Structure 1
């Protein structure tokens, strides 16, 4: 697929053409023709060197337009600066040094980058005094050097770089500063994103591979018409498309909230420069890159203030964030703490280990999207309680987001507690306990073949959908999440499970078939949301109903841990269930 401009014709149909793409290589390609959207689109889109003056003019023009004309973008360029920034001066001979800037207002850039295998220069308690006086140019890696060149070109004299502005051997400083990182990116005049650099050895300002440069060819049309066409490969650049050509930064968890919160970002990808702010997204040829969005978290929160379900935005954030990579698994909650801090005023709720207390029952309905050989064992380090999505590597929500299938809770929160380590209230969790009042039943879980330990079944009905949180194993008379060194054996064992809630289509309610049957028992208390009249609803009454059931492992006589989530089309498991208070850690 290539993008193509046909300056002399704007009404050409898409065509399959034989095109010489350079280097003596001809190929059949599908070409999309479209009109040039505005005067900012250039017919000769790219330059061989990113440091070409025309590329600098592109960035400067976008900055000027954003600062002066974008209604959705913040107009305040002078903001509260981070505790420390790097002072870089304005010219090549100016001294670079760490500049303490507490309570100081100014204009600065921020760098979003991958540390990678080649660790960058770091500030520590031992070298802080020396680096406050001077940071030698030759001690900086290529990414840092190029970021400084870009800042100087834009007239910015300060830049915030995490490894040089947070004391890396001071736990208290790291906790305090990591909790403020979201604000640092949000207040930055511009964020420079090193999308294509796997580490500091891959420079930002370098020659592009010729495969990304445009090619010009003549298109022969019927009736002897000839049209000059300028085409380029579709880079498939996207902040959510690490399989395209955005580069390694798109796969990093820390970089997610940096992109989410930044007011303006200059993406330096393998194929193109991309400008992204809260109003527009534009590549250097003037077009909007593939699948890129222009709405950061602050703008999303502003636009969703009128909706009754802003928590579903949080579900999207969790799904994207948890699919990304972390060097240290214990950073899972700290790496999202800036986004959580911004989200709290909208939800007006307490934040507990990645979930929100006000919407806790629905927030518990996450699943591990990985299956088959992709299912992993449980991490040895404690990251979060088992009921939190942060306790596993990857999670997503499959509760309805359209409003057509409203969620109704059938469990209530009796108590919830989390112990936080350090100074960041949205960061590391050392312990968590959740007490739910819910209908408690039992289900048999089966694993016939431990060499394929991701294959589990519930009871004897293959239609029941079970999403294990990770590989499971039999331990101490019950089933638990398996560690990397645990021996895997076949098992078949009954396990407790609790009914969290259900979704039911609006159409069935309008047709008078809304029906959730919960069997009353001498110890059971029907939830006020249930509309029960019989013990066994007919299939047509529940044809568009989904029940969410948390499957539990037994730790002791009064404590459980989460093992996974089941989706049921009926609630027959709970026809004789008793409502109890269940303690989950």
Structure 2
């Protein structure tokens, strides 16, 4: 362990002067957190006039926390394939971290750097712009290698060409042609590939395809009237020698409008607008083909709207890792110092999952389904294809220690690739469930994105569901869940009561999915492990869904699910501002062993799907509307017991809705939950059917 920076001033100065470690660390802190840290330091300095006294290196653990930041150096940990790991952390002196960051962000936890010596893993970046000869040479190398040598990235090579309904035609390739034309591909003699664009429209106004613009777009419009992002995407398309580009807002009839800061799709009644709506549904159902048959997807990763473009100026020195001399005497008897390169562990997660474009829900399927993605980042070009990830800093491919992260190799949707990745981490996964584990990984990532139109939750994922269906042996798709492992898929939980933008988790209106589906909630979600049916104490007996169209992966308008298990009455109580606990017969569920320390006497944790009030729960408990079902039992201290929390929402028809999940260990007071009810009480509980001690309830 080593002290790092005494004050925020020196940390910021070091980052500004180009220290690779301090710069990467400081960039992980959001602007809001940076402002709070500065305010805390100002308050501390006002309380102690004059510069803080210089302090020697700490002698004990307590003294480290008198410094703003400190580091921890570990030798060859966790099987990451690196020589050392350097971990950098805010100590927290003088800072109310709860006010700085209500959520536990990576920035305020340990920031990790991989340390390697005698290995050249990076390549120097020299250009000051992402629109440079160096930039284009790297992009062309990736593209040529992928097209010519990657088997997984070219599944359509020997199949007949497929084209979207509409494309933007840039002409026969002359660079001076400044007119583009919207074409109906069925009316044209088509040849050659097309590319696609992922972008954020933001609040900027720009030309779109609708009934008023169709004629002019088909006649041809000047490229100069396009927003900057579109113009630069067209330039890139021509650089790749491609004639056609597909852009969603210019190739699908748009049936939504801006309404201040909000955006809402209008389901309108006039005849022509009904046609537009029908076109939108038809084209949305083809998204899996649009992206999977494209030559390449261009991702405007760092552009908030169409005015910001693809290309950026940059400081190449900030991209080039600095070789340093590191003292390792305390942890390595064989040497005292090493010359080494430092690699930012969060490099890929910051540049790809953490970039602006990949927070858009629709882009998840654009990113996954395209055979290759050229990502125009805020400081460098990045590459994703089905065989490897790369960047200008790591042009050959990401090193192995990045490959072991969950964020990398995101486009590998086949079970074999996923199994190899898991086995490389020293873990095992059942080949039969690997494809379902991949799906859970996808929907968890999807839950960390945002939708402009709330009702698009399922249809924006529809393309991936269609792509995954053969992988799961044509399993039945049930509102974002696969039928074979429906029991485990019902046990998702909302990680926090906040969406990715900081607003509360919610079940938006209008309706878009039954409450038992994760798709009914906007919030960051965690899935339950996929298990065999024999491990569950619940069983899905039947289900039914209604759809807006014939597409069973698209918009859901209603539905129910019949679940069999042991139903029991539930009570809840507010322990703290954001923590709820379970009650059974008005007794708090927690370990009764007084010899246990307080932190082991917590009892099951209640994870509500959306925030609730005391008054609402008190009313429901008085009306005896709250119930639970234990989904699985275990004797292992290393596993938890998942408990499904239900509310009787229609007593006359005996219909239930899901309100959350509780999780508790086998020694966490669950004996109260497992206690058998007498037969008279069991038989009196509301349900569709009661037989042999089990209840069948209908959830909507």
Equivalent residue, structure 2, for 1:325: 450
User: C-alpha displacement at 1:322, in angstroms?
Assistant: 0.9
SS in 2 for 1:437: strand
Equivalent residue, structure 2, for 1:365: 491
Equivalent residue, structure 1, for 2:167: 85
Q: Please say if 1:72 is aligned against 2:152.
A: yes
Q: Which runs of 5+ in 2 are unaligned?
A: 1-18, 22-81, 87-111, 256-275, 328-338, 420-428, 591-602, 683-692
1:168/1:174 contact within 8 Å kept = yes
Q: Please say if 1:352 is aligned against 2:478.
A: yes
- TM-score under structure 2 length normalisation: 0.65
1:444/1:492 contact within 8 Å kept = no
User: C-alpha displacement at 1:294, in angstroms?
Assistant: 2.7
More strand per residue: 1
Cα distance in 2, alignment partners of residues 209 and 117 from structure 1? 29
- Structure 1 31/468 Cα, relative in aligned 2: closer, same or farther at 3 Å? closer
User: C-alpha displacement at 1:407, in angstroms?
Assistant: 6.8
SS in 1 for 2:366: helix
- Structure 1 433/52 Cα, relative in aligned 2: closer, same or farther at 3 Å? same
SS in 1 for 2:390: strand
Q: Please say if 1:394 is aligned against 2:523.
A: yes
SS in 1 for 2:543: strand
- Structure 1 562/75 Cα, relative in aligned 2: closer, same or farther at 3 Å? closer
| Greater RCO (Cα-Cα under 8 Å, separation 6 or more) | 1
2:301/2:357 contact within 8 Å kept = yes
Equivalent residue, structure 1, for 2:243: 157
SS in 1 for 2:152: coil
User: C-alpha displacement at 1:564, in angstroms?
Assistant: 0.8
Residue correspondence of structure 1 range 50-449 to structure 2 within 5 A: 50-74=130-154, 76-77=156-157, 79-89=161-171, 90-94=173-177, 95-102=179-186, 106-169=192-255, 170-209=276-315, 212-214=318-320, 234=344, 236-238=346-348, 240-241=349-350, 247-285=355-393, 286=395, 288=398, 291=405, 293-300=408-415, 307-309=431-433, 310-347=435-472, 348-371=474-497, 375-400=504-529, 408-447=535-574
More helix per residue: 2
2:367/2:373 contact within 8 Å kept = yes
Residue correspondence of structure 1 range 399-548 to structure 2 within 5 A: 399-400=528-529, 408-447=535-574, 452=577, 455-459=580-584, 460-462=588-590, 463-473=603-613, 474=615, 479=620, 494-499=624-629, 501-502=631-632, 504=634, 541=635, 543=637, 546-548=640-642
User: C-alpha displacement at 1:84, in angstroms?
Assistant: 0.9
User: C-alpha displacement at 1:114, in angstroms?
Assistant: 1.2
- Structure 1 503/349 Cα, relative in aligned 2: closer, same or farther at 3 Å? farther
Counterpart among 538, 546, 550 of residue 644 in structure 2 = 550
Cα distance in 1, alignment partners of residues 323 and 646 from structure 2? 64
User: C-alpha displacement at 1:230, in angstroms?
Assistant: 11
- TM-score under structure 1 length normalisation: 0.76
CA RMSD of aligned residues (A): 3.6
2:114/2:343 contact within 8 Å kept = no
- Structure 1 143/374 Cα, relative in aligned 2: closer, same or farther at 3 Å? closer
Q: How many residues align?
A: 504
- Structure 1 398/379 Cα, relative in aligned 2: closer, same or farther at 3 Å? closer
- Structure 1 376/299 Cα, relative in aligned 2: closer, same or farther at 3 Å? closer
Equivalent residue, structure 2, for 1:584: 699
Runs of 4+ displaced beyond 6 Å: 12-16, 215-221, 229-233
User: C-alpha displacement at 1:74, in angstroms?
Assistant: 1.2
